[in-house]
Amino acid sequence: MNDLERIAYKAERAASRRLARSAGLSADEALRRTLERAAGTGGLAALVALRTSMLEAQAAREAARVAQQASAAARRGGLDDARTTAWRAWFDGSARPNPGRCGIGALLEGPDGIKVELAQPAGHGNSSEAEYRALIALLEAAVAHDARDLTIHGDSRVVIDDVNGPDLYAAPALAAYRARVQALLAHLPDARLRWVPRHRNAAADALSQRAFATLCSDETDATSHESC
């Protein structure tokens, strides 16, 4: 395939075939004339350069997507890694409704029986924001305890893939959360973030639900024992 065929849109290739039949031109000449008309005053060379760069950018995005999928598959395949790290952690967050009030839960376990539980309301937002807030709270606790050799588990593919994936595919709406997580992870260079199915994240889920119970209790007290 020559350069002009590679950059031509489907409609332009169809138009060039009609031109070749009606004017008795070769396929290459008809395509060249069709693209020259599409280029206008900018010229054919400029059109070729622009579309070539667009194709290269598309190929780079596709390569990054494939790499991200391979990385995610490797992480999933590593769930059964027999090695147990010195520190382990789990996080979970939810919103009621979605979006709505957020509750977060996290569990951090370390050597010598160290155990830190977090269960707290976390403002308003959607479920992904709640999950990110839970992860941030957990990482803040991990940094405070200087948790080295840490594996973090969560059941949110959105958050874990957003953190582990390339910048190109990061969710713009979650950019501030991702930046905070990356800043905290910089203090935990050997930390690993892994996805687990929901049933393997039960402790963190229970803590996030406890946060809603605390929130309801506070609201009930504030409204003279009206229903939460």
Which pLDDT score is estimated for 59?
Answer: 79
Phi, psi of 118 (to 5 degrees): -125, 130
Q: How far apart are the first and last CA of the chain?
A: 67
Q: Which residues pair with 91 in a beta bridge?
A: 106, 154
Segment 154-174 shows an average pLDDT of 91
Dihedral sign of CA atoms 48, 51, 57, 58 in order:
negative
Which pLDDT score is estimated for 72?
Answer: 57
Pick from 27-36, 79-88, 173-182, 187-196: least confident: 79-88
Q: 76 near 31, Cβ under 8 Å? A: no
Would you say residue 78 has pLDDT above 90? no
Phi, psi of 180 (to 5 degrees): -65, -40
User: Fold for domain 82-222?
Assistant: Nucleotidyltransferase; domain 5 (3.30.420)
**Total Cβ atoms within 10 A of residue 158:** 15
Domain coordinates in residue numbering, the chain: 3-78, 82-222
